[in-house]
Chain A
């Protein structure tokens, strides 16, 4: 079993829809959770950073962390074609290196 599980997709949704992306993990020591967006042939861009459990909102993006269920989510509201990318969840404990999910390929259909 991988430490971090993420559905690779691909996921296609119509423009304007709400997108839900999720990851589950097995290591209860993870405390820091991140979501990255990666366009083709580009480096990952940090979208959301959350420490421990709870919600965080930034514009159209909301990140949720449920440590009791070892489950994190990223919601994208009013999705746009420019949101089409691969979304990577990542997490770590303390000073350790990041552990990544495999990434979900998302396509927003105009």
Chain B
């Protein structure tokens, strides 16, 4: 149990386009979802926290207009990188918690974004 999926696993796009990444909890209801960014050989950097039905809470320094987060249901959250630029190229990972294992946090497999 406690499986989190992400789609797509890899995306390459041109500068200026927008990219949407989906995160789904497959076998539990995720009351809270998190979005992280990870650069090579570095630890995870939390971007934002979202609770189902509420606006996301962004970490300091993360542009909310650039990284749009929607947590419309208990099993789905989306991250949209708007007007992507090469510096947005990174590994984006979502995680979720909820249900009876509420204090544990489960991660998706990640999405590698490359902006040309």
Q: Which residues of A contact B (CB under 8 A)?
A: 32, 34, 36, 41-46, 49, 51, 88, 90, 92, 97-98, 100-103
Contact = CB atoms under 8 A, between A and B. Distances in A.
Given A88-B44, A100-B44, A46 B104 contact: yes
Interface of B: 2, 4, 6, 34, 42-44, 46, 49, 91, 93, 95, 103-110, 112
Going nearest first, the 6 A-B pairs with the smallest beta carbon separation are: A43-B107, A43-B110, A43-B109, A44-B107, A102-B43, A43-B93
A90 B36 CA distance: 14
Summarize A's interface: helix, strand, loop or mixed: strand
Given A41-B91, A97-B46, A100-B43, A46 B107 contact: yes
Contacts of A41: 91, 110, 112
Contacts of B43: 88, 100-103
